[in-house]
Structure 1
Amino acid sequence: MDMDGVLVREEHLVPGADTFVAELRENGIGFMVLTNNSIYSPRDLRARLLRSGLDIPEGSIWTSALATAGFLEQQRPGGSAFVVGESGLTTALHNIGYVLTDRDPDYVVLGETRTYSFEAITRAIRLVENGARFIATNPDEKGPSREGSLPATGAVAALIERATGRAPYYIGKPNPLMMRSALRALGAHSENTLMIGDRMDTDVRSGLEAGLQTVLVLSGISGRDTAELFPYRPTRIMESVGDLVGHTLDPFEAKGTPGSGVG
């Protein structure tokens, strides 16, 4: 399941999210919380969720930073990267043995940060121009804050792409790599797994492309009206994860056609 807009909104618990997670545990159903946010490590996110009233183990949190590190470890073990991002990303790369450098790196890796530096972006552009491979943790163009929208990884990646003519390879949702790496971490198979998210363009799409059933919840970004704009549909649309309480063993046993919500 996604985190922001599904379990929490900013620092506030989505009503019923704690009951839903407790019911998963009671029924022995494994779960993984996915987020495209690469700023924080799983330990940081666990602390944030605890403050909101949710006790989620570090091992049940999967970030685009972890997925990016896993991808780079497979592609070029023991490589090097110039990183524009925060500790969640740099820690993940350090943990796979990557060297972080601004001198002839194998990759430029762009992640999320609240303090994008013009100097760092300029350095990234020059390294990409000189042959470094361009990776971005996720394509989200903007993110929420109390004051309004903030530019996110996708927006800054577009700037670098326009300046270099080199498009990045995005690892996070909706790339099915993110979902498949989470499935491996969970030890699960797509046929027996459900994706719950609040965004049609990332959560539902990545779930569909990885072969999962999908639930769109209306507690975050996408509404019923915006869902109609896409050429694909979720398996179900529900108001929030609270509506899944009591249905965790077979969440789609209720009557109704796909995409219609619980009958």
Structure 2
Amino acid sequence: MSRRREIRSWLMDMDGVLVHEESAIPGADRFLGTLREREIPFLVLTNNSIYTRRDLAARLKASGLEVPEESIWTSANAMAQFLSDQRPAGSAFVIGEAGLTTALHQNGYTLTERDPDYVVLGETRTYSFERITHAIRLIVGGARFIATNPDATGPSLQGPLPATGAVAALISRATGVEPYFVGKPNPLMMRSALNAIDAHSETTAMIGDRMDTDVVAGLEAGLETVLVLTGVTTLEEAERFPFRPSRIVRSVADLIDELG
């Protein structure tokens, strides 16, 4: 494990770190409460672009967790900020939900089905064959292809669902064009989150439950990384990766005592 740093701000994944499906993970409420009480900057990160930050704050509250909406950062927020920086006041054809379209609108983007600057692919539970077909034709016609996150599947009570990465692969196969993914594990999302809370990578930690997104994104962005074992990754699975987190803990509850 690497030398322990002084941590002044925290980034953390949501699913598997704070909640499991609709239930709060034991100790998550105390961890978040301590961060708020001591006014320690933090952001909850998620690759899920379906919901707005306000929606996610309400969902977390229903699970017993108090997180202000300004303390939530989604791949949709990172996407909208990135596009606004790259091509201000541009246009996009969007496959996605309110979380993505709202973020784009708030950053000055126009949504259109004709000659857009970008085809933007995000998460949705109702992928339309008609809209996917239209996206393919726009990309073949010259629109740039960009997507929120590379996750191939997402969780549901009934089992895995096809997610953004799987649909992106379909579009890429049909067009020969690979998308640029903005969300984790792209360190771009981590850096946009750091900027959102005016934090520095040297004094920030990333908490996650996935080695292939949370931990690698944190490492590539220069953050201390903490793997929790309350999500999808076991201790044995973590050992199979060619990189390691800075440390491994059972849950966020184990981090409370070091918050100062």
Q: Which of 7, 15, 18 is equivalent to 1:7?
A: 18
User: Gaps (5+ residues) in structure 2?
Assistant: 1-11
Give, as a single letter, the amino acid of the residue that structure 1 aligns with 2:140.
E
With the length of structure 1 as denominator, give the TM-score of the two structures.
0.93
Could you tell me which residue of structure 2 aligns to residue 254 of structure 1?
A: none
Q: Which of 67, 71, 90 is equivalent to 1:79?
A: 90
Residue 241 (structure 1) aligned with residue 252 (structure 2): yes
Q: How far apart, in 2, do the equivalents of 1:51 and 1:130 lie?
A: 45
With the length of structure 2 as denominator, give the TM-score of the two structures.
0.94
- State the Cα distance separating 1:102 from its structure 2 match: 1.0
Q: How far apart, in 2, do the equivalents of 1:245 and 1:176 lie?
A: 26
Could you tell me which residue of structure 2 aligns to residue 209 of structure 1?
A: 220
Could you tell me which residue of structure 1 aligns to residue 154 of structure 2?
A: 143
RMSD over aligned CA atoms reads 0.7
Aligned with 1:32: secondary structure?
Answer: strand
Q: How far apart, in 2, do the equivalents of 1:168 and 1:178 lie?
A: 16
- State the Cα distance separating 1:27 from its structure 2 match: 2.5
State the identity %.
Answer: 71
Matches within 5 A, 1:65-214: 65-214=76-225
Could you tell me which residue of structure 2 aligns to residue 260 of structure 1?
A: none
Give, as a single letter, the amino acid of the residue that structure 1 aligns with 2:185.
P
CA deviations on 1:194-218 (whole Å, 9 max, x unpaired) are 0000000110011000000000001
Name the count of aligned residue pairs.
Answer: 249
Aligned with 1:245: secondary structure?
Answer: helix
CA deviations on 1:135-171 (whole Å, 9 max, x unpaired) are 0000111111100101110010011111111000000
CA deviations on 1:98-122 (whole Å, 9 max, x unpaired) are 1111111000000000000111111
Could you tell me which residue of structure 2 aligns to residue 21 of structure 1?
A: 32
Q: How far apart, in 2, do the equivalents of 1:28 and 1:63 lie?
A: 22
- State the Cα distance separating 1:226 from its structure 2 match: 1.6
Aligned with 2:114: secondary structure?
Answer: coil
CA deviations on 1:198-249 (whole Å, 9 max, x unpaired) are 0001100110000000000011111112212211000111111111121223
- State the Cα distance separating 1:25 from its structure 2 match: 2.0
Residue 59 (structure 1) aligned with residue 70 (structure 2): yes
Give, as a single letter, the amino acid of the residue that structure 1 aligns with 2:230.
S
CA deviations on 1:84-134 (whole Å, 9 max, x unpaired) are 000000011111121111111000000000000111111111111111000
Q: How far apart, in 1, do the equivalents of 2:254 and 2:175 lie?
A: 47
CA deviations on 1:50-92 (whole Å, 9 max, x unpaired) are 0000110011000000000000000100111000000000011
Residue 228 (structure 1) aligned with residue 236 (structure 2): no
Give, as a single letter, the amino acid of the residue that structure 1 aligns with 2:243.
Y
User: Gaps (5+ residues) in structure 1?
Assistant: 250-263
- State the Cα distance separating 1:193 from its structure 2 match: 0.3
Q: How far apart, in 1, do the equivalents of 2:161 and 2:232 lie?
A: 15
- State the Cα distance separating 1:26 from its structure 2 match: 2.5
More relative contact order in 1 or in 2 (CA 8 Å, sep 6+)? 2
Q: How far apart, in 1, do the equivalents of 2:52 and 2:21 lie?
A: 17
